[in-house]
Structure 1
Amino acid sequence: MSLPVDPVRAAFRAECARLTEILAELDDADLDRPTGCPPWTVRELIAHVRTGTGRLTDMLAAPAPPRAEVDAAGYFGAAKFTPEVDAERIAGGRRDARQVDRATLPTDLDRTWRAADAAVAAAPPERVVRTRHGDAMCLTEFLRTRVVEVGVHGLDLAAALDRPPWLTTQAAAVIVDLLTDGRPAPAELGWDHLTLIRKATGRAALTAQERAVVDAAEFRWLAFGS
């Protein structure tokens, strides 16, 4: 009997697999569309996501730091989105996009995320990794950030492609838990997971009434760059 998969890892796998299916349906015209993450095109945003999913493989091949210093919420702190870091992140996505053509995009992403998943499966749960920012994080906490990257940017891609969101229920649950620090949103808002994610990440604006409810409840969610 196989062991149950950790919910965060299950969310990572489900969201990556769904994105891979979507990529197989795209043509060059789709890939050249602009996105809500300027100046990236769909192709460049996909390249950014692919690179992000693959980071775990190299991180787990490197020596483990002695202890974790940052959790997933801390990873998305303001210091990670300075103009210099943001400029390099944007340039990296554009640079990576030039190295992959449309025909190989689905295969390349599939190979990349599966290699990362295999590396996670082979590592002990308490493993600590070092991020590209130099932070030491527990493996599961860093994997939560990968679910955010694939899931939230999946919303950006769906919007750019004029498609309904394909966010999986597994990924939505992980992202909402991180954004809200595990606390429920005020019931008066009536938000489902997709709406909360859109509102909390700036993909949809708060109405005046929603802002009043949020402020009155002193409800705060994690803020991070796009």
Structure 2
Amino acid sequence: MNAERPRTAMSEATGEDIVLQAFRAESSRLSEVLGELTEAQFALTTPCPPWNIAELVVHITSAVARVLAGLTAPAPPRANIVAADYYRPAIFDDAANAERVRMAQSDAAMYRNATAITAAFDDTWRQTDTAISGQPADRLITTRWGDGILLSEFMITRVVELVLHGLDIAIALGVSAWTTSEAATVVGDFLQIEPATTHLGWDRRTALAKASGRSALSTRESAELARLNITWRRFG
């Protein structure tokens, strides 16, 4: 899969980049959800073992904070990758994954309670929203892996993190996904789910869960995807 989107994707209604809209909508919704959870719910295990919800939220917060880190560092001379390249297997090997797990667990242990974890996420996404608003279309940042990327492309990956890990939290809670329509559109385009939704009759939230591996495929669905030559990698 080689997912790309038009570089000038703008809302006709507001003239604002749809990825920025998606980031704001999904972050705000997640903050609302987290604010309603109990300490016991923050301790529930997630589909991202060994993380519980508290640790997964801290990981999401760190993912969003990467934007602020990128904006404060010197801009790279050029873009080496687009959003789809960010999730290449070479930088998500066992060692890198183990380090991500360790960091989230260590960072989560520093918070006194669930309220503090929720407040940290809320503060981080709002700071990020302010920082990226009004940035030029050609703004470049450097990822933690040393790649140059357009800020607009990097923000796609942040919406992917919010949506897919939001699905993980919903699964852990045993509730329906709350994915916002704005974010579902961005991640749906990124995962290229439209052919599957058309042929299999999925709604967008179902397609996102299926395409990202959060929901199992039936035998019929697997056969139809194979017939259409559609494959997806697991993201997030």
**Per the shorter chain, which TM-score range?**
over 0.9
Give the match for residue 116 of structure 2. Answer: 104
Q: CA deviation at 1:117?
A: 1.2
Q: CA deviation at 1:183?
A: 5.3
Give the match for residue 87 of structure 2. Answer: 76
Per-residue CA distance 1:155-182 (angstroms, 9 max, x = gap): 11011112221110111110010001x8
Structure 2 residue identity aligned to 1:5: E
Root-mean-square deviation over aligned CA pairs: 1.7
TM-score, L = length of structure 1: 0.93
Give the match for residue 3 of structure 2. Answer: none
Partners of 1:47 and 1:68 in 2: CA distance: 28
Choose the corresponding residue for 2:145, options 133, 145, 148.
133
Give the match for residue 165 of structure 1. Answer: 177
Partners of 2:91 and 2:208 in 1: CA distance: 20
Choose the corresponding residue for 2:73, options 62, 78, 86.
62
Q: CA deviation at 1:200?
A: 1.1
Partners of 2:180 and 2:94 in 1: CA distance: 32
Partners of 2:32 and 2:98 in 1: CA distance: 30
Structure 1 residue identity aligned to 2:80: E
Determine if the alignment matches structure 1 residue 144 to structure 2 residue 156. Answer: yes
Give the match for residue 15 of structure 1. Answer: 26
Per-residue CA distance 1:74-93 (angstroms, 9 max, x = gap): 10111121011100111111
Q: CA deviation at 1:186?
A: 6.1
> Is contact 2:213–2:234 with CA below 8 Å preserved after alignment?
no
TM-score, L = length of structure 2: 0.89
Unaligned runs of 5+ in 1: none
Partners of 1:166 and 1:35 in 2: CA distance: 16
Aligned residues: 223
> Is contact 2:197–2:204 with CA below 8 Å preserved after alignment?
no
Partners of 2:61 and 2:197 in 1: CA distance: 35
Give the match for residue 224 of structure 1. Answer: 234
Q: CA deviation at 1:212?
A: 1.5
> Is contact 2:197–2:203 with CA below 8 Å preserved after alignment?
no
Q: CA deviation at 1:108?
A: 1.6
Q: CA deviation at 1:185?
A: 2.6
Partners of 1:122 and 1:187 in 2: CA distance: 36
Structure 2 residue identity aligned to 1:143: M
Q: Give me the identity figure in percent.
A: 41
Partners of 1:6 and 1:141 in 2: CA distance: 11
Partners of 2:27 and 2:74 in 1: CA distance: 26
Indicate the SS of the match to 1:185: helix
Structure 1 residue identity aligned to 2:56: L
Determine if the alignment matches structure 1 residue 197 to structure 2 residue 208. Answer: yes
Partners of 2:227 and 2:58 in 1: CA distance: 40
